[in-house]
Each structure stands twice: as C-alpha cells, then as structure tokens.
C-alpha cells in the first residue's frame, strides 16, 4: 500500500495574509524597508532564514533577529488569518477514504498541528513531519522519506502533493510520485518541475484514485 502526502502552505491553506503581515512587521521593527509582497510570496515554502537572506538581509545576526520577530508576530495572528483553500476539505475527505495520509512541511510541526486542529483537518493525518523532525528540509528527500517510514508504506505506490518545485524535487528524490497543484505560491515554476499538474487538490486526489496505485 502507498500513502498520500500533502504540503501545507499553498496546498491546504492560504497563508498569504499572516505571512506577509509578519514579514512586514519584522522588517519594520528592525527599521528596515519592507520588501515587495510579490517577492515574499515567491519564496513561501523555503525556510524562514533562507527567505530573509533571499530578500537581501546580509548579516546572520540580523537574520536571526528577523526570524524571531517574524515568529513572535505570526504566532499571534496565524490562527485567525489562515484560511482553507476552497475545495481542500472535500479533497482531504476523499483522500482519507483511499490511503493513509501524511503532512510534509517546512513549517514547525507543533504549530502546524495546532493550525490543522483549528481547521478541523488534523484527525485525517496519521503523521505530520515538520522542520524539527529532519536535518534536511525540502527539496531534500529526507522529510518525505521520514513520512513514508513512519507510515510503513511503499514509496513507489505513494504520492506527494504540493504547490512548489521544492515539493516536486523532494518527492521525486524520495521515490514517490510528485503531483503539483496551482493553488499556491509556485505556479510560475511548477510547469517546469511537476510531472503531473492539477488546478485543485480534489482534482489531484481524483486522479490518484483513478490510477489506483495506492493499493
């Protein structure tokens, strides 16, 4: 049997508002100019420290301070300002009927579980792999491999659904089938890295169901 693994930001939830607000707040607290929103959005899915470096922050001390400021603000607002992407609940419910489910994210597992509980989805997932569970984050295959190992399933019969090339590369490296959805933040690049691409999570799940490779 295989499993269906799913990313969080841009795949299950729309988290643009709390992410952008928290980035702007962190930069403002440091007296730095806020970056263009479109530049931040393109980086969602990467680790926070890497995002700040990509936005032009040079010193490691500044990066650490900005990450800390970001987290402080984000944790205050994310539960109220993160929304399920339309159709996600139906997609997860269908996936739950056909295969074991797991989460693979660069977000912190603890707060991911709190968010999914708040949104009424946590009970559908047998495993949640976050940044504290691995030494190497996506696009490294380790997060996907860890989820596969904990679920005790066959990687060749498993799928990883995400919205960025980081997800596609991580899944492919782990020997699972990567599947892209265009609901998130890597739409412009996905056509270059996703072997299978769908407009919504339910469409991706329906395709997996028809293939019946999860059995």
Q: In the Cβ-directed half-sphere of 12, how many Cα atoms lie within 13 Å?
A: 26
Contact 90, 202 (CB under 8 A): yes
Identify whether the C-beta of residue 30 lies closer than 8 Å to the C-beta of residue 139.
Answer: no
Any catalytic annotation for residue 7?
A: yes
| Annotated catalytic residue within 7, 9, 14, 163 | 7
Residue given tokens 């990509």 in the structure block: 54
DSSP 8-state assignment for residue 44: B
Q: What are the E-state strand segments in the chain? A: 4-6, 13-14, 83-84, 101-104, 127-129, 159-162, 177-181, 197-198
Number of H helices and E strands in the chain, helices first, is 10, 8
Interhelix angle 60-81/109-118, rounded to 10 degrees, is: 20
In DSSP terms, 197 is beta-bridged to 180
> Active-site residues: which are they?
7
């Amino acid at each position: 049997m295989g499993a269906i693994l799913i990313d969080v930001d841009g795949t299950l939830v729309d988290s643009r508002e709390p992410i952008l607000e928290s980035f702007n707040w962190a930069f403002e607290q440091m007296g730095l100019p806020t970056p263009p929103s479109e530049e931040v959005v393109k980086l969602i899915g990467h680790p926070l420290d890497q995002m700040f470096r990509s936005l032009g922050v040079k010193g490691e001390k500044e990066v650490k301070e900005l990450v800390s400021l970001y987290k402080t603000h984000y944790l205050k607002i994310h539960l109220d300002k993160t929304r399920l992407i339309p159709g996600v609940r139906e997609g997860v419910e269908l996936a739950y009927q056909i295969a074991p489910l797991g989460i693979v994210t660069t977000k912190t597992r603890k707060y991911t579980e709190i968010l999914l509980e708040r949104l009424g989805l946590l009970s559908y997932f047998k495993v949640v792999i976050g940044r504290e569970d691995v030494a190497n984050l996506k696009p490294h295959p380790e997060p996907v491999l860890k989820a596969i190992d904990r679920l005790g399933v066959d990687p060749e019969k498993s799928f990883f659904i995400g919205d960025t090339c980081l997800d596609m590369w991580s899944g492919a490296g782990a020997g699972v089938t990567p599947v892209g959805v265009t609901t998130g933040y890597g739409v412009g690049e996905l056509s270059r890295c996703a072997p299978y691409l769908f407009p919504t999570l339910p469409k991706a799940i329906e395709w997996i169901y028809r293939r019946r490779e999860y059995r």
